[in-house]
Amino acid sequence: MATCPICRRAPADEKYKPFCSKRCADVDLQRWFAGSYAIPGASDETPPDEDAEG
């Protein structure tokens, strides 16, 4: 059986799957809002000195 990704307990309620409770689901959501989770990748921005012609 899979465990809750936040607290590592077995999920107790199908309503919050894959989390075991609303609390763990809310903790995960807060981590997304805070930017704790990120997918590494190349920056789309070019450095300022390359934008200027001169």
Please tell me the predicted confidence (pLDDT) of residue 14.
86
Q: For residues 29 and 26, give the distance between their C-alpha atoms in angstroms, rounded to a whole number.
A: 5
17 touches 11 (CB < 8 A): yes
Please tell me the predicted confidence (pLDDT) of residue 37.
82
pLDDT truncated to tens, each residue of the chain (54 aa)? 789 999 998 877 789 999 999 999 999 999 999 988 887 777 667 666 655 555
Backbone phi, psi, residue 35, to 5°: 85, 20
Please tell me the predicted confidence (pLDDT) of residue 5.
92
pTM, entire model: 0.64
Q: For residues 47 and 50, give the distance between their C-alpha atoms in angstroms, rounded to a whole number.
A: 6
Token pair of 35 as six digits = 């930017």
10 touches 18 (CB < 8 A): no
Please tell me the predicted confidence (pLDDT) of residue 21.
93
